[in-house]
Amino acid sequence: MTSISLEEIKKIIKTELPSILKTDPSFRKFILQITKSHYPPKKKTEDRIEQLYQQILQMQEQSEKRWQEWIKRYDQTQAEWNKKWEEYEKRWQEWNKKWEENEKRWKENQQKWEEWIKKYDQTQAEWNKKWEEYEKRWKENQQKWEEWIKRYDQTQAEWNKKWEENEKRWKENQQKWEEWIKRYDQTQAEWNKKWEENEKRWKENQQKWEEWIKRYDQTQAEWNKKWEENQKTINEILKRLEKIDRRHLYTIGALGARWGLYSEESFRNGLKAIIEDSFGVEVMRYVDYDRDGEVFGHPDQIELDLIIRNGMVIACEIKSSISKSDMYSLWRKKEFYEKKHQRKVDRVIVISPMVDPRAKPVAEKLGIEIYTHSDEFIENEQKSLND
């Protein structure tokens, strides 16, 4: 009989035991009965997991309670700050900016906390799903559970450390705030002292100003008296000049009107003789009656100089002076002629030694040609009148 060593027996058991446990229920029961003292039963394991779960819930409640206490302290402190803030709001915008940054960091921490809770809930859901597989993979899950507990303890330690750091920063900010209040009170005292000095100088300047106003009123009264006397003398001189100017104005106006009419007629007759005799062009004085008042707004006689050559019609206006309204009247005369005789006027010309500057934009807009030699004189006169 061949002897088998203990190591060989162990090797055979490791090799054959898994298949025997699968195929032989009585043998499997026997093995479990022998080895059950080496591992806890299922009920005990479930009780342990439940106990751990209750401890986690209790820790979560304590953390929530501590969080609510901190929120209450924060709300109380916030109320005190709001009271102080109402007093110093206009002067200390920089502190407000710093506080907003701190509030922003606080919200980020709050958001991280909510994300952690969400992540914890997701993890809890995964644990519930994996719980159905614990019968087959208890040892692996037991090891993962212990790792999670270790990780949770590390996270709890990190939270406690961050909480202590936040408390430390809170105390430092409180100390800075008290120092700032102390500095503000000192600055306020200095401002009050400077304000009193400035108030004293202001009263002295006010007194000097009142004395100057009094002297100015006296001088102004003397000037007003002299001005009234001088103005009275000037008004008498102006009345005399006005009487003389009125007489000369009537005389010059009458001569100008007569000379203007005669000049227009003379120039018209000379132009007609030159053009008709030398160039074979027909020059005619068109006279018609506007019964509908299309030109002047009421029935009236229409007069227009026309130059006709080879079917081309040129409307011409010869006047001693042309105004803005004369430009519109000439254009309406041209339209009246075209409408009545069904004949197009090819060009519209104005010949005048004096053209009102305000009439030029109208001529450019309507396409009327202007021929004159005193534009600069008229513009200078108009500028001097406006000045």
**Residue 300, domain member (yes or no):** yes
Which domain covers residue 289, as residue numbers?
281-386
Domain count, the chain: 2
- Of the CA atoms within 13 Å of residue 50, those in its CB half-sphere come to 6
Token pair, residue 272, equals 């007609």
* Rounded Cα gap, residues 55 and 61, in angstroms: 10
- Residue 309 Cα to chain centre, angstroms: 66
Which ranges constitute the DSSP H helices of the chain? 6-23, 25-35, 42-88, 93-131, 138-279, 324-341, 359-366, 375-386
**Burial class for 303, CB neighbours closer than 10 Å (0-12, 13-18, 19+):** exposed
In a domain, 245, yes or no: no
Domain assignment present for 98: no
C-alpha span between 130 and 138 (Å, rounded):
10
pLDDT, one tens digit for every residue, the chain (387 residues) = 467 788 888 888 888 888 887 888 888 888 878 877 776 667 777 788 888 888 888 888 888 888 899 888 888 888 888 888 788 777 777 767 877 887 888 888 888 888 888 887 888 888 778 767 767 877 887 788 788 788 888 888 888 898 888 888 888 888 888 888 888 888 888 888 888 888 888 888 888 888 888 888 888 888 888 878 877 887 777 677 566 555 444 343 333 444 444 455 666 666 666 666 666 677 888 899 989 888 888 999 988 888 887 888 898 888 878 899 999 999 999 999 999 899 999 999 998 888 888 999 999 999 999 988 654 444 544 555 555
In a domain, residue 63? The reply is: yes
Question: Is residue 264 a contact partner of residue 320, using CB atoms and an 8 Å limit?
Answer: yes
Q: Is residue 108 part of a domain?
A: no
Residue partners of 184: CB distance under 8 A and separation at least 6: 88, 91
The domain boundary residue, chosen from 76, 99, 125: 76
Going by the DSSP 8-state scheme, the letter that residue 369 receives in this structure is E
Any idea what the CATH number is for the domain that residue 322 is in? 3.40.1350.10
Report DSSP letters for 260-271, one per residue. Answer: HHHHHHHHHHHH
- Give the separation between CA 79 and CA 71, rounded to whole angstroms: 12
Last residue of a domain, one of 76, 97, 120: 76
- In one-letter notation, the amino acid at residue 275 is I
Distance CA 346, CA 351 (A): 17
What are the distances in angstroms from CA 190 to CA 154, 183, 186, 200?
54, 11, 6, 16
pLDDT at 249: 40
321-322 vs 369-371, strand pairing mode: unpaired
Instruction: Tell me which residue has tokens 């500057």.
Output: 357
Q: Is residue 184 part of a domain?
A: no
The token duo for 336 is 């009246």
Give me the pLDDT at residue 346, please.
92
Residue 106 belongs to a domain: no
What pLDDT was estimated at residue 279?
Answer: 67
Residue 364 confidence (pLDDT): 92
What's residue 272's pLDDT?
64
In a domain, 102, yes or no: no
Q: Three-state DSSP class for 348?
A: strand
- Give the list of residues 6+ apart from residue 66 with CB closer than 8 angstroms, or none: none
